[in-house]
Amino acid sequence: MNPLSYLLAPVVVAYTFSMGVLIVYLGNMVYLALLGIHKQKKLRIDNSKLSVRSVTDILPFVTIQLPIYNERYVIERLIDACASLDYPKHLFEIQVLDDSTDDTKEIVANKVNQIKQKNINIVHLHRNNRSGFKAGALANGLESAKGEFIAIFDADFLPQPDFLKRMLPHFENQNIAFAQARWGHLNRDYSLLTLLQSFALDAHFAIDQLARSTSNYIFNFNGTAGIWRKSAIQDAGGWQADTLTEDMDLSYRVFLKGWSAYYAGDVEAPAELPVSFTAYRRQQYRWARGSLECAIKYIPVIWKSDFSFAKKFQATLHLTGYLLHLLAILLMLFYPLLLSFAVQYPSLLEPIGIGLLLNALVLLPAFYFTVAQQLLKKGWLFSLPLIFLMSMFASGMVLNTVRALFQIAQKRIVPFERTPKFGITHRAQNWLGNRYQVKIDYLILFEFALAFFNLWTAWFAFQLGYYLMMMYAFFFAFGLFFFAGFTLFQAISARFFHDVKPDSA
């Protein structure tokens, strides 16, 4: 008997289980997309009602917090944008929460002095240590914040002048803890990387945030471009730094405390997308690890709460969404084993999902991203080729994400690392000679190895005549080669520029 035969049963069971979990996650994406289509009508009705109200009688005092760390290329434009908000000067203050260790500190000090001359209440709060990182900076600013409401903007955002006036009316509902605006993109067309990122973020906001917020599910504050009720922050225990996503962490605590929140999808806050592959890797690692840390922290609490089953189930999928990348790696490993078994058992692959079911599954992410573009009234039809590319592109991130899972299991402490911004808003700009370059790491070697492994799987499937599996293995290989290859290319290109100061945090 073939020694591999002893592995047949456990591999088939494990593969079937993985496929079942994958179907649940992808099926939920379709459910949220359909829900988003339905709920967008409610959002339009709510906004039309809101637009006829007078906001002049509901203008509270607002504290605008700008948490920054080494942002020499973008901080001045952010401060200028906040100082230009269409809101009574005596009803807002700006806190620049500055943990910088480079010349950003001096740039901020000079800009703050300029803004003060316009009779705008602005303070520069610089910390000499980064205790608690962003969460620590926000908590430190909250101690002296005078506002009943706290607006937060990261350094890469440019709030529109009417941001406060359009967001604050949603707090007429006294149970609203925070209101989140939709992110726009200042440099969407800068490169293929920024364009693909825009598809992913559009889907998150136009579908996920909309569907969850209008269906009484838990959804999260996205860390920036939103407003918090100060009393809700305090009631939930304040900002905490024990996860890498302090925004998601606080969001779940306020929901568990009985608060609700509002997604203001009609309010767009433009922001700069990462143009560097290494910076994007850092961002996605932080988001993945922080989400999984929150999952470990809150899923047991959620299932013990009095939330409805649907709310608990959706919260679980929301917090564990990055496990899709683990499932992708498992499929990569299962494919050659299944092909080896198929040599002896030719009919094996038919009943366990390699067939029409997988044909449908591969289309579901594309459907999800397409719906998002349609909801935002963007040209989805001409974007279809790029949307399919987006689905393949995601496979290039799997090792980057799964590393976070293994490091959590190892209880390895990883500091908060911000995503560098370079002030890039149009294609003519170059950033490779700027400071804050993120060093390339050894992980790309494993990505190249996994890409070649998938190419071998594709060849193996071709030899056996399993062309559908060949196609999936090739897609995995393409995504890994794309991501690892461009990361390496950018890193080599940066070597040819001067004044490059690697980013250490």
Tell me what pLDDT residue 472 has. Answer: 87
Whether 46 is catalytic: no
- The answer to whether 383 and 373 have CB atoms below 8 angstroms apart is yes
Residues in contact with 199: Cβ distance below 8 Å, sequence separation at least 6, in sequence order: 369, 372, 373, 383, 386, 387, 390
How much is the pLDDT for 56? Answer: 47
The reported pLDDT for the residue numbered 186 is 95
Ranges of the chain whose pLDDT falls below 50: 52-56, 352-353, 355, 499-500
Inter-residue contact 334 to 169 (CB < 8 Å): no
Active-site residue (options: 156, 202, 247, 249): 247
The token pair at 447 is 């990505």
Mapping DSSP to helix (H, G, I), strand (E, B) and coil, where does residue 151 land? strand
Give the containing element (helix H, strand E) for 115.
helix 104-116
98, 99, 202, 249: the catalytic one is: 99
* φ and ψ of 182, to 5 deg: -90, 140
What's the topology of domain 32-276? Spore Coat Polysaccharide Biosynthesis Protein SpsA; Chain A (3.90.550)
pTM, entire model? 0.92
Per DSSP bridges, beta strands 62-68 and 92-98 are parallel
Rounded to 5 degrees, φ, ψ at 348 are -60, -40
Q: Is 57 annotated as catalytic?
A: no
Q: Can you say how many angstroms the Cα of residue 120 is from the centroid of all Cα atoms in its chain?
A: 33
Tokens of 158: 């440019």
Q: How far apart are CA 466 and CA 459, in angstroms?
A: 10
Q: Where are the beta strands (DSSP E) in 255-344?
A: 260-271
Residue 146: per-residue pLDDT: 97
**pLDDT score for 58:** 65
CA-CA distance, 329 to 326, in Å (whole number)? 5
Write the CB contacts of 51 (distance below 8 Å, at least 6 apart in sequence).
none
Which letter does DSSP use for residue 241 in this model? -
Return the closest-CA partner of residue 254 out of 172, 319, 177: 177
Q: What is the pLDDT of residue 395?
A: 87
CATH 3.90.550.10 domain position(s) in the chain: 32-276
The pLDDT value recorded for residue 340 is 87
- State the burial class of residue 262 (Cβ atoms within 10 Å of its Cβ: 0-12, 13-18, 19+): buried
Q: Is 379 exposed, middle or buried (0-12, 13-18, 19+ CB in 10 A)?
A: exposed
Q: What tokens does 27 get?
A: 């099926």
